[in-house]
Structure 1
C-alpha cells in the first residue's frame, strides 16, 4: 500500500496539480520544454509502474480468492519486494529511455507529439511504442485477471463461502480496474486517431481517478486502512489547568498598613 501510495501521489501531482496550472496558463511545448519534458517523463514512468502494480494486485486478488494459503506462499513476507522490483525496473526504464509525453493546453491533455495541432505525426516519429504496448497489455491482462476473479467470486458465492470481505474486495477491484482500463484505452486511441474534446477529457479524468479514487475506496471499504486513517485524524484535547493565586503574607501586611 505504501508503494502504491507513492505512485499515486506523484501521478496526482502531475496529472492533477501541474496539468491544471498548465491549462490555466495555456502551456504548449514551446512554453517550457525542459519542465514539460521532465514532468512528462516522470509521469510516464510512474504510470508504467502503476500499471504493473495493478496487474500484480490482480494476480494477488485471484490467488486470494482461489486459495489463501497459496497466495500467502507467493506474496507474504519479503516475497512482495521481489514482485515490486518488476514495476520499479519497468518504470525506471520508461522514465529514462523512452520518449516523453508533453502537455498541450489546446487539446487539454498529454501527447507524445509535441507539435500536435501544428504538424501531424504521420510517420509516427514521436510514437512511444513502449507506452502503446504497455497499455494494450494492461487492457488484455486486466480483462483476463478480473474475469477470472469474478468467476472465482461467483463460485464461492454459489457455495455460500463468500462474506463481506469478499464482497468489498470485488467492489474495490472493479472500481480500481475500471478507471485504469479506461485511461489506458483512451490514451492509446487518442495518440493515433483524432478524437473529440469530450473523449480527451474522459481519458484525463480517468487517469486522475485511477490514482485518486483508490484511496477513497480503501478508506471507506477497508477496515484496517480506515482504522489507521481515523487514528491519524484523532486530536488530543488540550488539558486546561486552573491555578489559584494566593497573595503572600508580605502583600497582605502591606495592604493592612495602608488601610
Structure 2
C-alpha cells in the first residue's frame, strides 16, 4: 500500500503507529524462534539458488519466444528468479524469526517487504492461471488458441498480471511479520492488539486466494482429464508408457494443488480468527513450499525432467531441450518445471500464497 505511505501519511500514522504499546511487553524469548527461523532461512536459500537455474534455460529457448507457452514461461520464470514472494516467505521470514522481530521493530522494512511479496504473489499467480487456461485451450482447440493467444495477443495477456501486481503494491493493505507467531498478518500489531479482520484486512486478497484455489485446481484436473480422454481415443503401441505418464501427471497435480489449497485456505482463515500456532506454521510452511516445492516434485516423479536436469549439469544440454515444439504429442504442464508426453514440451506453472 505504497499510496497510503507516500500520499496519505495521516492514514498511515493512524493505522501503523507504534505508540499504543511497547514491543518489550512481550519478552524477546517469546518472539524468537531460532530453530524455525534457521529452517526457513536454509530452505529459502536452497530454493533461491534453484531459481537461478532458470537463466541458462531462458537463454537456450529464446529462439522459441514466438510460442505463447514459452512467452509465459519466460514471464513466470523472471518472476521466479527475482520474486520477493519466496524471499519474503522464506529468507526474510527466517531472519526475522531468528531476531524475534515484530512490525514495530522494523516498521518500514516489514511494511514494504510485505507489500512487495503480496504484489508479486498476485502477479505471478494470475500469470499462472492464464497459462493454465492457455494449456487447456491449446489441447482442445488450436483455432481458439490462435485467436486468443497468437502473436502480440500473448503480450496483452501479460499486461494483466503486471498491472494486477502493481495494484496490490500501490493500493492493497500489505502483510506484516510477527515473530510471536512466525508468520505474516494484515494486522501489524497482532499479538499486542488483536483485530481479526475488522480494520486490517484485504477483500481483494481473500477473493484472490479463493479464485486461485478453484482456478488452478479445476483447470489442471480438466487438463489431465482431457489428456486422458484423448489418449484413450488414440491408443498406440506405447499406450502402457502413456498410461503410466498419465498416472504420474495426476499425482503431480494432486500434490501441487493440495499444497496450494492448504496454504491459501489457512492464510485466509487466520486473518479473521485465532487458530493454533501449529496451523499458523503449517500455513507459512505450505506457502513457502507452494513456490519452491514443484521442482522437487518433478525431479522425483518425472523421468524427463530428471534426465534433462542431469544433462544440464554434465554439460551435454544447458537446459531443457526445446527443439520439438511443433510435433503432435500432447503437453502436460503443472508447476515449476516441464513435463513431456511424446515429443512436445510446454512450460509449467506453480501457485500461491
TM class, shorter-length: 0.7 to 0.9
How is 1:127-142 mapped onto 2 (pairs within 5 angstroms)?
Answer: 127-142=201-216
Assess, with a 3 A threshold, how the Cα gap between structure 1 residues 43 and 50 changes in structure 2: closer, same or farther: same
* Greater alpha carbon shift after TM alignment, 104-113 vs 221-230: 221-230
Alignment of 1:173-212 (within 5 A): 173-212=253-292
**Bigger proportion of residues as helix:** 1
Count of residues in correspondence between the two structures: 235
Alignment correspondent of 2:80: 8
Aligned partner of 1:246 in structure 2 is none
Matches within 5 A, 1:32-47: 32-47=106-121
Distance, in Å, in 1 between the alignment partners of 2:146 and 2:307 is: 23
Aligned residue for 2:330?
Answer: none
Matches of residues 220-239 of structure 1 in structure 2 within 5 Å? 221=302, 223=304, 227=308, 230-231=311-312, 234=315
Q: Within 2, Cα distance between the matches of 1:217 and 1:77?
A: 32
**Post-superposition CA distance 1:95-133 (Å, at most 9, x none):** 111111100011110000011112121561111111111
Deviation at 1:75, TM superposition (A): 3.5
Quick one: structure 1 residues 76 and 106, their matched pair in 2 at CA, closer, same or farther if it must change by over 3 Å?
same
Distance (whole Å) between structure 2 residues aligned to residue 83 and residue 222 of structure 1: 32
Higher RCO (C-alpha under 8 Å, 6+ residues apart): 1
1:23-102 to 2 correspondences below 5 Å: 23-68=97-142, 70-71=144-145, 73-102=147-176
Tell whether the 8 Å contact from 2:103 to 2:178 is kept in structure 1 after alignment: yes
User: Which has more radius of gyration?
Assistant: 1
Partner of 1:251: none
Quote how far apart the aligned CAs of 1:148 are: 2.6
Q: Secondary structure at the match of 2:222?
A: helix
Aligned-partner Cα distance in 2 for 1:21–1:124: 29
Measure how far apart 1:152 and its partner are: 2.0
Q: Report how far residue 20 of structure 1 moved.
A: 0.3
- What is the aligned partner in structure 1 of residue 47 from structure 2? none
Instruction: Provide the residue aligned with 2:94 in structure 1.
Output: 20
Asked whether the 8 Å contact 1:99–1:126 carries over to 2, the reply is yes
Q: CA deviation at 1:42?
A: 0.2
* Map of 1:239 onto structure 2: none
1:82 partner SS: helix
Output the CA distance in 2 between the equivalents of 1:94 and 1:112: 13
Distance 1:179 1:122 in 2: 24
1:60–1:123: structure 2 CA closer, same or farther, 3 Å change rule? closer
Secondary structure class of the residue paired with 1:110? strand
1:32 CA drift (Å): 0.3
Q: Which moved more, 1:177-186 or 1:38-47?
A: 177-186
1:172 positional shift: 4.4
- Distance between the aligned counterparts of 1:180 and 1:214, measured in 2? 11
Gaps of 5+ in 1: 236-259
Alpha carbons of 1:225 and 1:157: their partners in 2 closer, same or farther (altered >3 Å)?
Answer: same
Structure 1 vs Structure 2 CA RMSD: 2.9
